[in-house]
Amino acid sequence: MTDLFDLTGRTALVTGSSRGIGRALVTGLAEAGATVVVHGRDASRAEAVARELGERTGRTAHAATFDVADATAVDAGFTEIEERLGGTVDILVNNAGIQRRAPIADFSDADWQDLLTTNLTGPFHCARRAARGMIARGSGKIIQIGSVQSQLARPSIAPYSATKGGIAMFTKGLAADLSGHGIQVNTLAPGYFATELTAALVEDEEFSAWVAGRTPAGRWGAVEDLVGPLVFLAADASRFVTGQTLFVDGGMTAVV
């Protein structure tokens, strides 16, 4: 039987993989055999992660730098990646994202726009560009990084929640458009994970303890917890799974 989780021969781009969750995801895909592209806006950081991955796996890992919010930059970035890889992207992970927190009465226009352009318009730009190559080839995987915040509300993050709720429905719409082309589109939705994005929450002892208590597994997630579910969604193992959201949250969204 072929290995349902083997990604040898596939190419994968993980947006925002220069640190945090994306870095763990791109590492997992590389270890499963994929040729990976590490991405972020900070070129030196993306290149350093690509170098480290290349040394670890013995295969070349590539680095790419563009702002997902800029459609022209996304198109140019994909073209450059395709030229370097000698083919199109097989697996796109729309991970790049930001967080902004404030009570709604104080929420600024600038923060609202930043959230929309990074967390929703960015995945649109990348999915549109990647879909062209995938449709031509008749196969592909698009995995979007959502959040428990698409299901569970908390104070001061309504706009962030709106973007992640949008992502979950964008995934279903993409599945409607692309399933007939042999492309699966799913959302991987993390619970709470300690990264730069959540640094202020980790430092807040009361909130940090609340997360552990509210999570049936009794702890914050470790970024490595996301790797197995991602490889499943990226591999042949999930070939009849599309339009779904897979929560990786220690049970947070399942249990009150």
Binding site residues, ligand NDP, CB under 6 A: 15-16, 18-22, 40-42, 45, 67-69, 95-98, 118, 122, 145, 147, 190, 192-193, 195-198
- Closest C-alpha to 45, from 18, 77, 21: 18
Contact between 47 and 63 (Cβ < 8 Å)? yes
Closest distance of CB 255 from ligand NDP, Å: 18
Question: What are the φ/ψ torsions at residue 196 (nearest 5 degrees)?
Answer: -60, -35
Q: Are 69 and 118 in contact (CB under 8 A)?
A: yes
Name which of 85 and 98 has its Cβ closer to ligand NDP: 98
Q: How far is the CB of 180 from ligand NDP (least distance, A)?
A: 28
Q: Please, which residues have CB within 8 angstroms of residue 56's CB and are 6 or more apart in sequence?
A: 27, 30, 31
Nearer to ligand NDP, 41 or 172 (CB): 41
* Active site amino acids: 160
CA distance 16 to 18: 6
Least Å distance, CB 109 to ligand NDP, is: 18
Which of 132, 130, 93, 100 has the alpha carbon at shortest distance from 114?
A: 100
Q: Which is nearer to ligand NDP, 8 or 108 (CB)?
A: 108
Q: How far is the CB of 27 from ligand NDP (least distance, A)?
A: 13
26, 17 Cβ separation under 8 angstroms: yes
Q: Which is nearer to ligand NDP, 33 or 122 (CB)?
A: 122
